[in-house]
Structure 1
Amino acid sequence: MTLKKLIGKLHLWLGLASGLVVFVVAVTGCIFAFEEELFRVFHSKLVHVRVPSDAGKKLPVSVLQERAQTALGGSDSITLINIYPQNDLAWEFDVFRYNEEKSANSFWDQAGLYWKKAYVDPYTGNVNGIMDMQYEFFIVTRSIHQNLFINPKIGSPIVGSATIIFVVLLLSGLVLWWPKNKAAARQRFAFRWKDTTRWKRKNYDLHNILGFYMLVFGIFIALTGIVWSFDWWENVVYRVLDGKVVQFKLPKNPDKTVSANEPVHLLDQVVARIQKDNPEYYRIFLSKNKPTNTLTAGANFKDNTLWTAYNYYMYNLSTGKEYGALLQKDKTTGQKWRNSNYDLHTGKTLGYVGMTIAFFVSLISALLPVTGFYIWWGRRKKAEKRPETLGKIAPQIRSRERVKS
């Protein structure tokens, strides 16, 4: 058996083993490429607000938090706040918690999750509405994409393993695609279909030509996706970029004393400080963690690089005292990459151009297992017919031999 035939066998069986998972992950990846944009279209009444003539006057975040907390109920305190600079966007106030025991013991993902999000008009304080995020369409889509909607301890390694196999399939596919001569090359780079071209040939060309053109992008998206499945791969990337593993970690609060109430104007002061230090921010988020007595404040902003830039500021939730920070300029290359991996994976780093590329690469990735299966099935059927055909023509061959003799 030649090396190319051996690679062909490997390509076939790995494709059959991983095809269904790759198809599901790729289809959900298509949907998720424009997740934020589509969400704002489908839930426009929640997300958007009417901009008044004096758009500069927005209510303090502490006042908006009170309105949101009243609407969400008092059983759980707000743990996450998202603030946007766009005048027509509502601010988001989330109650988020896990039942760790229920989550760990369930086969399905999302078990034990409680997640409600209130959308508040920053000008009037009116609550546009509350959404239950546990089974929201895009949240479920992401869960399927990352874990097949089963417990992450089970689903994430399955998805990660299938993604590694997909990378091997792309590389082995390149070997099988490589033309023997100039004549064969003509059919490798462009579709040359005629009215008489059969569907089997078209399917074969779809598999080979589209697979070739998405190869580099497909490998890049796959490698950035494996990060969420395997810690060892994350550490490999850190070592490549930094020479050692310097993981992305925020400073821990040395004061674990938890107070019943946070300072009244803490959020207002933090937001004012971040807006001053990051005037061109895309989003400000405030994340509260009462068990660790921590308020994490972050600003996503433009820094004229391809990295997704974040500045983090850490506060004592009880006293309001800042005890640490992690600024974009102080991060290692690996830490900048880890902060940017999601946007690199989804193409958001390059804006709509990148997201469009990610969408079509994911679409082609979903087509490859389908067209590949059809190629294998067609050859299998053809192989089954050969003995039958030989059986029919064998008597004719023998009779011709007698006549000749």
Structure 2
Amino acid sequence: MRKFFHQIHLWLSIPLGILISVICLTGAILVFEKEITQIMYPETRTTQVEGQHGRKQRPEFFRQVRALHRWLLDAPAKKGESSAGKTVVGITTVAMTVILISGVIIWFPRNRRTLKNRLQISCTKGWRRFWYDSHVALGFYSTLFLLIMALTGLTWSFSGYRTFMYDLFSGLPVDNLRRFFYSLHTGTWGGLTTRILYFLAALIGGILPLSGYYLWWKKQKRK
């Protein structure tokens, strides 16, 4: 069974790893969009950041980061419509969900000693061991947050999925549901603490495919 999930983990990660890194790293940047904008553009301190209490004109940098995060720069012609970039982001996010779940199944230890080893990162046994431990341990620590981000992010990618998720909370007004899923996706639901945790998780999510590529490349060299 582990071998089966290992193959799923590997063959989804190899073609989509770079896209996952792009989505996660741009998401990490967007976590602190408001603070970065206020530092770079002090005149915006009295305005609001979209998603909080209103809209303001985003600096060009963040418009591009957001477009990369949501549509790979291929924005839909109209709000609510589809585009190739939006579809690719959605499919990649579904694959990321499967990669995360399969990674937990592969990681799940058989005994307490193995659990202890997999939660630690060795810095004294060479680069390959360091990146392996980092991939395994950091992946475990960030999985829950990454899954929340992925499962809520899909509500912006696929209308059918959004309808299904909204139906689960059918007693709430649609506007409240939008704000609820937005807060879950961005980490604003718990204030600064959860935003920092989301930032770290998204940053790790962007690094995991790169460490995975390195480990796969080292393995191929040994064959």
Q: What's the TM-score once normalised by structure 1's chain length?
A: 0.50
Corresponding residue to 1:156 among 74, 86, 96: 86
Q: 1:332 to 1:186 in 2, by over 3 A?
A: closer
Alignment match, 2:79: none
Alignment match, 2:201: 361
Q: How far apart in 2 are the matches of 1:182 and 1:203?
A: 22
Letter in 1 for 2:162: E
**Identity percentage over the alignment?**
32
Alignment match, 1:171: 101
Alignment match, 1:145: 69
Alignment match, 1:47: 44
Q: Residue 241 of structure 1 contacts residue 334 of structure 1 at CA under 8 Å; is this kept in 2?
A: no
Alignment match, 1:352: 192
Q: 1:91 to 1:17 in 2, by over 3 A?
A: closer
**Alignment partner of 1:28 is 2:26:** yes
Q: How far apart in 2 are the matches of 1:379 and 1:239?
A: 46
Alignment match, 1:237: 165
Q: How far apart in 2 are the matches of 1:90 and 1:4?
A: 51
Equivalent residues, number: 211
Q: Which has the higher strand share?
A: 1
Q: What's the TM-score once normalised by structure 2's chain length?
A: 0.88
Q: How far apart in 2 are the matches of 1:31 and 1:190?
A: 27
The secondary structure found in structure 2 opposite 1:355 is: helix
Gaps of 5+ in 2: 50-55, 77-82
Alignment match, 2:16: 18
Q: How far apart in 1 are the matches of 2:145 and 2:117?
A: 22
Shift of 1:176: 0.7
The secondary structure found in structure 2 opposite 1:214 is: helix
Shift of 1:188: 1.1
Q: How far apart in 1 are the matches of 2:149 and 2:108?
A: 23
Query: What is the root-mean-square deviation in Å for CA atoms of aligned residues?
Result: 2.0
Within a 5 Å distance, the mapping from 1:300-379 to structure 2 comes to 332=172, 335-379=175-219
Q: Residue 237 of structure 1 contacts residue 334 of structure 1 at CA under 8 Å; is this kept in 2?
A: no
Corresponding residue to 1:199 among 109, 127, 133: 127
Shift of 1:333: 5.7
The secondary structure found in structure 2 opposite 1:350 is: helix
Within a 5 Å distance, the mapping from 1:122-137 to structure 2 comes to 136-137=60-61
Alignment match, 1:181: 111
The structure whose RCO (Cα within 8 Å, separation 6+) is larger is 2
Alignment match, 1:213: 141
Q: 1:91 to 1:138 in 2, by over 3 A?
A: closer
Gaps of 5+ in 1: 49-88, 93-115, 118-132, 243-330, 384-405
Q: How far apart in 2 are the matches of 1:217 and 1:47?
A: 30
